[in-house]
Chain A
């Protein structure tokens, strides 16, 4: 068992020092001579005092306690925790990408601009959009970017559309982004199969609706088979259709959002396109648009002019949504991923992701409740409600117990329409043996004594944390 690692403050010893800078050879000036009295500290800052080796060991140990894709199977539904190929890292450390500055003249960074231009083209082709911006930093940032575009688009058309429709299975970011962009959010219920309830959609579509935000496949991992009808209903009402690209890993090279009728999309490069994810990624959430909406994309974008690449701000651009070029080195990694796979390879990725999810679904559905039946796409949602009723075991207990078996938890309590939800997304990069081991762990724990589950995890440096107390009375500073 790995042991608990104390904080740097607890390891601190008075007078211990990491580095010993030489005496300054400049004339010394006291802070009082330079700064007003009110700006001066009364006591030195309470920083820990440590040697360099203390600090190095501390962070190395912390990193060893981490559950990550590099160390454990991580079937966190909706997050697409796939392997991040190391060739991506190799590309991102090439000096031509890593050692440039965003304020360099364009003529000196033609390679970087060429990469961005080509990535824009690749993502446009994958999504069926006419143009892409690479600026947004993550999925929710992409959502709000698109909603600002929609807002400006209708304002220019002289239409006052104030409402955004979201299914009740949507990612929580959808209604949050719509509200933040100034829209009124209307929730559309799901039908018995988990798709959009078309009657409810019809009843809510009118001249006030700016757009419907839709994830396809949905957060239940099910393909929205009514998508063509949904698209025509929304368009007939004069609204737009927005594609939440969180689940694009199911569809690459198979179906394009643009062909389904979507007008705007965002992608999560840190999900589908294998760039590092979680704990500081950073993420990247490019947005694509079709038709007239292209002119509203944030600028500047990269455009090709014969043999050279330059930047341009679209005619009706909503402006910048990010400093400089977004998370550029993440773009390099995603580009490396796309080009090492090629179009056939990306199609294989999606097919394998869907196959893996269905394999696990079929082997687990007899042991857990599966509220929405049928063939899934890249993920599926089990429910622990039977365990809860029969034995008082909840989704949280399942999640914590899985740590003891050496697996990261699935996403739990989401989507909201499934009680005690366990949302499982294996991705295409796991071996059959790994998936079988996880299935075995799930089957085993489903039969275990409830107390064992309530007490889990027992093999980690800390046991069950009191999440309620942490949320009610958070301690955010050390020392208190």
Chain B
């Protein structure tokens, strides 16, 4: 359950590069640890993210956890289905499809070379094995 084509942080976020933008979410391992997710707090479009700093909050039935930006950049899109004010609010997407429909934000990268500093699938797998 760790896609090979993504990069990861040791805080359990993933990032997928698409041209000059990248999609960010949390991993299958993270959603499993959190349990049923009930609320996701995301930054507004236009917010500047700094690598390693918190950019949002994910709340499950049993805990609340910060989200950490894997890269520096500007938020260009937010997953509309994860916003609690949306009519079709579906936080369960993060549980059901963490690497797909459960994506959280799309970011325009300030410095694409930051990606090289992130974990690849093998290195991230090791972290989950140690934690699990």
Residues of A that sit less than 8 Å from B by CB: 172, 396, 412-413, 416, 419, 467-468, 471-472
Bound form: Cα–Cα A396–B61 in Å: 10
| B11 CB within 8 Å of chain A | no
Contact A396 B38 (CB under 8 A): no
Measured CA separation A467–B36 after assembly (Å):
9
A416 partner residues in chain B, CB cutoff 8 A: 63
B61 and A471 within 8 A (CB): yes
**Residue contact B63 to A413, C-beta cutoff 8 Å:** yes
Interface-centre pick from B36, B59, B62 (highest chain A CB count, 10 A): B62
19 contacts between A and B (CB under 8 A): A172-B64, A396-B62, A412-B62, A413-B62, A413-B63, A416-B63, A419-B33, A467-B36, A467-B61, A468-B38, A471-B36, A471-B39, A471-B59, A471-B61, A472-B38, A472-B39, A472-B89, A472-B91, A472-B92
**A87 vs B43: C-alpha distance when bound (angstroms):** 53
Chain B 57-85 against A: per-residue CB contact (8 Å), 1 yes, 0 no?
A: 00101111000000000000000000000
Closest to B63 in A: A413
Where the two chains meet, the residues of B that have a C-beta atom closer than 8 Å to any C-beta of A are 33, 36, 38-39, 59, 61-64, 89, 91-92
Chain A residues, Cβ within 8 Å of B59 = 471
Closest to A419 in B: B33
Chain B: CB-nearest residue to A474: B38
Q: Are B63 and A471 in contact (CB under 8 A)?
A: no
B-chain residues with CB within 8 Å of residue A468 when the two chains form the complex? 36, 38, 61
CB-CB < 8 A to A172: which residues of B?
64
Q: Cβ of B36: which chain A residues have Cβ within 8 Å of it? A: 467-468, 471
For the complex, give the distance between the alpha carbons of A445 and B59 in Å.
29
Chain B residues positioned under 8 Å from A472 (CB to CB): 38-39, 89, 91-92
- B residues within 8 A CB of A412? 62
A396-B62, A472-B92 known, 4 other contacts, Cβ within 8 Å: A468-B36, A471-B36, A471-B38, A472-B39
Cα–Cα, bound, A471→B64 (Å): 13
Which A residues are CB-close (under 8 A) to B61?
A: 467-468, 471
Q: Report the bound CA distance from A472 to B39 in whole Å.
A: 7
How many Å lie between the Cα of A172 and that of B59 in the bound state? 14
**Which partner residue on chain A sits nearest B95 by CB separation?**
A468
Which residues of B have CB within 8 Å of A471? 36, 38-39, 59, 61
Determine the distance from Cα of A412 to Cα of B63 in the docked complex, in whole angstroms: 10
Query: Which of B61, B63, B64, B89 has the largest number of chain A CB atoms within 10 A?
Result: B61
A172 to B65, CA, bound (A): 11
Can you name the residue of chain A whose Cβ is closest to the Cβ of B90? A472
B-chain residues with CB within 8 Å of residue A396 when the two chains form the complex: 62
B91 contacts across to A, CB distance below 8 A: 472
- Closest B residue by C-beta to A412: B62
In the complex, which residue of chain B has the Cβ closest to the Cβ of A172? B64
Q: Closest CB of chain B to A116's CB: distance in Å? A: 37
For residue B36, give the distance in angstroms from its CB to the closest CB of chain A: 4
| Distance to closest chain A CB from B59 (angstroms) | 8
The interface residues of chain B lying within 8 Å CB-to-CB of A419 are 33
In whole angstroms, what is the CA distance A468 to B95 when docked?
Answer: 12
Docked complex Cα distance between A396 and B64 (Å): 16
Min CB distance A123 to B, Å, is 32
Residues of A contacting B92 in the complex (Cβ-Cβ under 8 angstroms): 472
Closest CB in chain B relative to A78 CB, distance in Å? 15
Minimal Cβ-Cβ distance residue in B for A473: B89
For B33, what are the chain A residues with a Cβ–Cβ distance below 8 Å? 419
Closest CB-CB distance, B93 to chain A, in whole Å? Answer: 12
Shortest Cβ distance from residue B126 to the other chain A in the assembled complex, whole angstroms: 18
| Cα(A471)–Cα(B61), bound, Å | 7
Q: How far is B36's CA from A396's CA once the two chains are assembled, in angstroms? A: 13
CA distance in complex: A464, B65 (Å): 25
Q: Which residue of A lies closest to B65 (CB)?
A: A416
A412 to B59 Cα, complex, angstroms: 16
What 5 A-B pairs come out closest when comparing CB atoms? A471-B38, A468-B36, A413-B62, A467-B61, A472-B38
* Bound complex: CA A277 to CA B62 (Å): 22
**What are the residues of chain B within 8 A of A467 when measuring CB–CB?**
36, 61
Give complex CA distance A212, B61 in Å. Answer: 29
* A413 / chain B contacts, CB cutoff of 8 Å: 62-63
Across the interface, name the chain A residue whose C-beta is closest to B61.
Answer: A467
Q: Name the distance in Å between A387's Cβ and chain B's nearest Cβ.
A: 15
Q: Shortest beta-carbon distance, B90 to chain A, in Å? A: 9
Give the distance in Å from the alpha carbon of A297 to the alpha carbon of B26 in the complex.
44
B39 cross-chain contacts in A, Cβ below 8 A? 471-472
Most buried by B among A172, A412, A467, A468: A468
A468 to B33, CA, bound (A): 15
A396 to B92: give the CA distance in the assembly, Å.
19
**In whole Å, how far is B43's beta carbon from the nearest beta carbon of chain A?**
17
Which chain A positions have C-beta within 8 A of B89?
A: 472
- With A and B bound together, what is the CA distance between A281 and B77 in angstroms? 46
CB distance from A183 to the nearest CB of B (A): 15
Q: Give A467 to B39 CA distance when docked, in angstroms.
A: 13
Contact residues in A for B38 (Cβ distance below 8 Å): 468, 471-472
Quick one: closest A residue to B92, CB to CB?
Answer: A472
CA distance A172 to B92 in the complex (A): 25
